[in-house]
Structures are given as C-alpha cells and as structure tokens.
Amino acid sequence: MADPTSRQYVPLTCHGHSRPVPHVSFSPLEKEEVYYMISACKDGNPMLRDGQTGDWIGTFLGHKGAVWQARLSPDASTAATASADFTAKVWDTHTGELLYILQHDHIVRAIAYPYDNSGMLATGGFEKKLRIFDLQEQKPLYSPTSSIDPNPVTPITIETSQAFEIGEGAHKDAIKFIVWAKDPNMIITASGDTLRWFDLPSRSCVREAKLDGEIKSCELVSLAPAYSSPADIGGGLPVLAVAAGKTAYFWGGNRAEDDIKQITLPHGIASVALDLKGRKYVVGEEPGTWARVYDWEDGRELDVHKGHHGPIWSIAFSPDGNLYATGSEDGTIKMWKNCEGYYGLWRGGLSTGSGTD
C-alpha cells in the first residue's frame, strides 16, 4: 500500500486569463472554509474566485493596461489592483463596481492594505515613490439602482497630491512589492535588490537589506487566528517571505524585521511561499516551470509540481493553510492540496503523480 504521506493529489486548474498571471493572493478567512482568491493578469482583467474551489465569481473590468498586483482588503469587502495604466483601482467585491481611482504619474506595480485596516492603501511603482492613500476621507456616492442608471456608483478619483509620501528619495529603482507589517507603523518595500523598512510616524527608512539579486517575490505569510499557534514558524505571527537570486529570506515579528532564516538553493527562484504549520516552503524555480517543495528544517526536497508551462511568478497559501495557489506566465492558476482527507473539491481521489492537468 502506498505511503499516505506521499499521496499526490491532482491540482485544480483555473482558466480564464488570456495573458500571464504575475500575482495571486487570498483574503483572510471570512468563516470556516470561506475565503476568496484574487489574481492579477497582464490581460488587464483581475479575477475574483472562491478561494477553496477556484470557481470564478467575477472579473473587475476597467483597467486599460496590464494589472501587476491584486489584493483583497482585510474585511474582503474591497479589492485593490495596481496597473500599467498609471492607476491603482479599488473595487467593491460584492458588486464589482469601481469605487476609487488612485491616479499616478507612471506604472503602478505594487499595492498593499494594512494588516487589519481596509480603509487605507499603500502604492508604489515606476515613480519610485511609496505613497499612502486614505480611502476614508471621501466615500463613493451610491445612487439608487435603476434601469436608467446602469452604474449606481460614482467612483472617486484621488490624485497623488492627496496622498502621503513616505521616505522621499529613498528608492533608486521601481517599487515592485509592498508589505504592511502586523504593526501598522511599519511598511516594507522591495525595489531592485533592496528591501527597505519604513517607520510611518517619522516617514523615514529605518533599515535596508541588500539581497542576493533582484527581488522577484515579497509577501507577508499568515494563518487565520483559529489556525495559528505559537508552535508555527514565526511563533504565531506573520512571516515575511522574500525570493531574490537563489536565496529565500524569512523575517518575523510584529514589524517583520527579526531575521528567522536564509536558505540558498542550487537554482534561481521566481517566487516563494511558506507553510507556517506544515513547516515547509514552496518555490517557483527560475529558469523553469516547476514548483519545488522543501522541508523547513533540513532542506530536503519533498515534492516537485510539474503542471505549469511557464515560470511561476506568485505562490500563496490559503488562510487555513489547507491549499496553495500558483500563478504562472502560462496564464493559468493552479491550486494544490496541502492537507489530509477531504477538502474543497478534493474528495479522496488520488492521481498517479503531481502536476497532471
């Protein structure tokens, strides 16, 4: 009989995008086994899906250029997208309506909500400026829905002059990722090969770390409170996971500035994600199209996922840790089971090997 720990489950494949998928992310847990996934795509049409099944819920229509990043707010009521059309946009996740247009002067690559505040956003991109937008100062006007008015919301445009710039002049390259630490006064940016930590009250850069090459992935990994424990990697707090060159870096603590671990691999990595409870990490190899799973403690290779046909630019774990999603240059998202027993659409069926489609 096969060793149950080596069982390979068929991944779920989410189709619908027509261009590469540079970013995927999950919402927090709304209630047990209810959460959402959003994907950015170079086709300009970010998509909202059921996070557990991958079923399509809706597409946010309105960008006129590639969408580089997409995130869901802590309360999952809004989605924020960063685009090459010189805007970031904020959407109502229930209706799909456009609520805010954050106007920029160049391509927007990065966007982030605070850890537990849905009313603010940080943006960055080719302007090399980190900005904070307060969405609570102005509220979109909802008009009564009627057949005469097919668009009941009048979106609000916020100019960059109304935002707060943090760390003026600190960035030498485009800002590719922004992470808001659990401590709301700390923001981390990835720009070129450098991570920077910014203290919001003083608006100043308080730390820099030059990494092993251009930063390809930079995400805060966390579990829903009901699933996290002090025995997890990071001691029950979120962990900052970063991929640069051939090295995966991990920082912990409320301000995501405590060094936990650096792991150098024999191959380049385009993306990294961390299984806090299962104590393993997943990377997208570069060059290549495979995802590799490694043991956190001893670095053993546990699995190889061969389903994609292009580089894997983004990997994200669900808020309960029971699955993870990979977003690829091939235009698809794949969802990989990360637990024993029945879960979501996996009802005990086994595949002969991982990565079958």
Please write the tens of the pLDDT for every residue from 206-232: 999 999 999 999 999 999 999 999 999
Q: Which pLDDT score is estimated for 153?
A: 87
Whether the Cβ atoms of residue 81 and residue 47 lie closer than 8 Å to each other: no
**Paired tokens of 92:** 């109502």
**Paired tokens of 320:** 């309960």
3-state SS track over 94-123? CCCCEEEEEECCCCEEEEECCCCCCCEEEE
Instruction: Report how far apart the first and last C-alpha atoms of the chain are (Å, whole number).
Output: 24
Q: Once rounded to an integer, what is the mean pLDDT over residues 330-346?
A: 94
Q: Which pLDDT score is estimated for 313?
A: 98
Residue 12 Cα to chain centre, angstroms: 19
Query: How far is residue 240's CA from residue 252's CA, in Å, rounded to a whole number?
Result: 6
Query: How far is residue 125's CA from residue 173's CA, in Å, rounded to a whole number?
Result: 9
Residues of the chain above pLDDT 90, percent: 87
Helices (H), 206-290: none
By CB atoms closer than 10 A (0-12, 13-18, 19+), residue 158 is buried
Lowest mean pLDDT among 259-273, 287-301, 338-352: 338-352
Tell me: the pLDDT tens digits for 85-141?
A: 999 999 999 999 999 999 999 999 999 999 999 999 999 999 999 999 999 988 887
Q: Once rounded to an integer, what is the mean pLDDT over residues 326-355?
A: 80
**Paired tokens of 219:** 């995400």
Of residues 261 and 351, more confidently modeled:
261
Whether the Cβ atoms of residue 324 and residue 32 lie closer than 8 Å to each other: no
pTM for the full predicted model: 0.93
Query: How far is residue 352's CA from residue 202's CA, in Å, rounded to a whole number?
Result: 56
Query: How far is residue 80's CA from residue 189's CA, in Å, rounded to a whole number?
Result: 17
Task: Read off the pLDDT band of 350 (50, 70, 90).
Answer: very low
Q: Which pLDDT score is estimated for 302?
A: 97
Lowest mean pLDDT among 4-8, 48-52, 353-357: 353-357
**Paired tokens of 136:** 């609570």
Q: Residue 119 — left, alpha, or beta (φ > 0 → left; ψ -120 to 50 → alpha)? A: alpha
Q: Which pLDDT score is estimated for 74?
A: 96
Q: Which pLDDT score is estimated for 355?
A: 38
Query: How far is residue 221's CA from residue 25's CA, in Å, rounded to a whole number?
Result: 10
Q: Which residue has the tokens 């401590």?
A: 183
Q: Which pLDDT score is estimated for 292?
A: 98
